[in-house]
Amino acid sequence: MTKPMFRADHVGSLLRPAPVAAARNAGKTGAELKAVEDAEIPGLIAMQEDVGLKVVTDGEARRAFWHYDFMGMLDGLEMVDTNRDALGFKGATISIVPQVTGPLSFPADHPMLDHFRFVAEHTKVTPKISIPGPSAVHFRVTPENNLHKPYADQEAFFAAIAATYRDAVNAFYAAGCRYLQLDDIFFAYLGDPEQRAIRAGMGHDPDWLIDRYAWMLNEAIKDRPADMTIGMHMCRGNFKSTFVATGGYDAAADAIFNRTDVDVYFMEYDTERAGGLEPLGLLPKGGKRVLPGFITTKTPELEDMDALKRRFEEASKYVAMDQLGIAPQCGFASTEHGNAITPDDQKRKLELVVRLAEELWDDA
């Protein structure tokens, strides 16, 4: 069986169409909001097709946050506003945190199954959905917010998260999904000295967490059908063009490349905060693919084509060009607020992704 694989791709989130943003700002919810989303998402899909992408998403236009919406729709998990900064972005504040209040599970009627079906019904190319990876649940549910007593045993908590995601993978496959992306950004966070110190202060050794996060991810995906592609995105935070973490992939590279059955890796590489390209040398030879994010979504300036090609020349010292592709470093709107760019900037970035892929690979 052939898995969907692409040289030109993107992480998933797009700037929210103005009518969707206006409806949310006006307090519309339920069927009234859904009607606006249903009317606008086909335009987002068409834009992606028009620039030449062979894989499209709904831009996460039905979400407020890239991860919290999905997590809040799980059984046993609730979102709570702390009224204080909870996530540590540089220059921006988010006060919402998740709490585990009972046994975790993936409900058969999780709304994002229908979100995927909508995309599949409205595109001529491959539909993809991005959801937060298993590490997002553990990393965001800090010990004081883990209120379900049996999960005080960390191994029991890890096992419950893995089982929940295994059910999610199976449910998305049954809904027709053949390309599922897991945003497991916290592997990258754990390369940041400050983030590592915070986790150590919670009693969690950062390298042990990387090991357990890789185990959770692999447990969730290892038995998927052979024609299902699993993508994995890593970054260091993205909210209104701000960030949280700084540090390379050195601590996590072996775990993500060699201890998980992931097919495609979306890796932030638009600034020096992401470290060097040397960790790419740990990617095993074969069918796995890395899409280094040399094109940023945080600023509107369009990258120089020749400079991008030079970045790929450097990357090819560590991994064969046949195992590379291109995608932007992150989403354009990881939250409904969006980055400090315009829809035109966004489109030009995606056009650049496609054009660069066409120039670098014969099979783009």
Handedness of CA 47, 49, 52, 57 (dihedral sign): positive
In-domain check, residue 153:
yes
In-domain check, residue 41:
yes
Q: E strand or H helix at 313, and its extent?
A: helix 305-315
Among residues of the chain, what percentage have pLDDT more than 70?
95
In eight-state DSSP terms, residue 322 is: G
Task: Note the pTM of the prediction, 2 decimals.
Answer: 0.94
Instruction: Give the pair of three-digit tokens for residue 129.
Output: 């959905």
In-domain check, residue 279:
yes
- pLDDT score for 219: 98
H runs (alpha helix) in 76-125:
111-121
Question: Is 221 within 8 Å of 236 (Cβ atoms)?
Answer: no
Reference 327, options 227, 139, 183; nearest CA is 183
Handedness of CA 218, 224, 230, 235 (dihedral sign): negative
* Stretch 348-364: mean pLDDT: 96
333: CB partners within 8 A, 6+ apart = 13, 14, 15, 16, 59, 60, 339
Could you tell me the CATH number of the domain that includes residue 326?
A: 3.20.20.210
In eight-state DSSP terms, residue 267 is: E
Neighbouring-strand partners of residue 231: 181, 264
Reference 232, options 269, 271, 270, 260; nearest CA is 260
271-281 per-residue burial string, b: 16 or more CB within 10 A, e: under 16:
eebbbebebbe
- pLDDT score for 86: 47
Residue 84 has pLDDT above 80, yes or no: no
Q: How would you classify the pairing of strands 75-81 and 96-105?
A: antiparallel
pLDDT tens by residue, 42-81 = 999 999 999 999 999 999 999 988 889 999 999 999 988 8
* Stretch 336-361: mean pLDDT: 96
pLDDT tens by residue, 103-130 = 999 999 999 999 999 999 999 999 999 9
In-domain check, residue 97:
no
Distance CA 101, CA 110 (A): 18
Torsion of CA 330, 343, 315, 269, to 10 degrees: -40
- pLDDT score for 94: 58
- pLDDT score for 2: 81
- pLDDT score for 1: 63
Query: Given pLDDT bands bounded at 50, 70 and 90, which one contains residue 26?
Result: very high
Neighbouring-strand partners of residue 127: 56
In-domain check, residue 125:
yes
In-domain check, residue 2:
no
* Stretch 291-307: mean pLDDT: 97
Place of tokens 């831009």: 59
In-domain check, residue 37:
yes
* Range with the poorest average pLDDT among 129-133, 247-251, 312-316: 247-251
- How many distinct structural domains can be found in the chain? 1
**Between 206 and 274, residue with greater pLDDT:** 206
169: CB partners within 8 A, 6+ apart = 180, 220, 221, 224, 228, 230
211: CB partners within 8 A, 6+ apart = 255, 259
Question: Is 287 within 8 Å of 319 (Cβ atoms)?
Answer: no
In-domain check, residue 86:
no
Residue 85 has pLDDT above 80, yes or no: no
Distance CA 300, CA 315 (A): 24
Distance CA 261, CA 171 (A): 19
Query: Given pLDDT bands bounded at 50, 70 and 90, which one contains residue 83?
Result: low
In eight-state DSSP terms, residue 191 is: T
Q: How would you classify the pairing of strands 129-132 and 289-293?
A: unpaired
274: CB partners within 8 A, 6+ apart = 188, 236, 248, 249, 267, 268
- pLDDT score for 156: 97
The residue count for the chain: 364
Distance CA 338, CA 343 (A): 10
Distance CA 212, CA 189 (A): 15
Instruction: Give the pair of three-digit tokens for residue 106.
Output: 């993936």
Query: Given pLDDT bands bounded at 50, 70 and 90, which one contains residue 299?
Result: very high
Q: Which domain holds residue 157?
A: 18-63+112-135+149-360
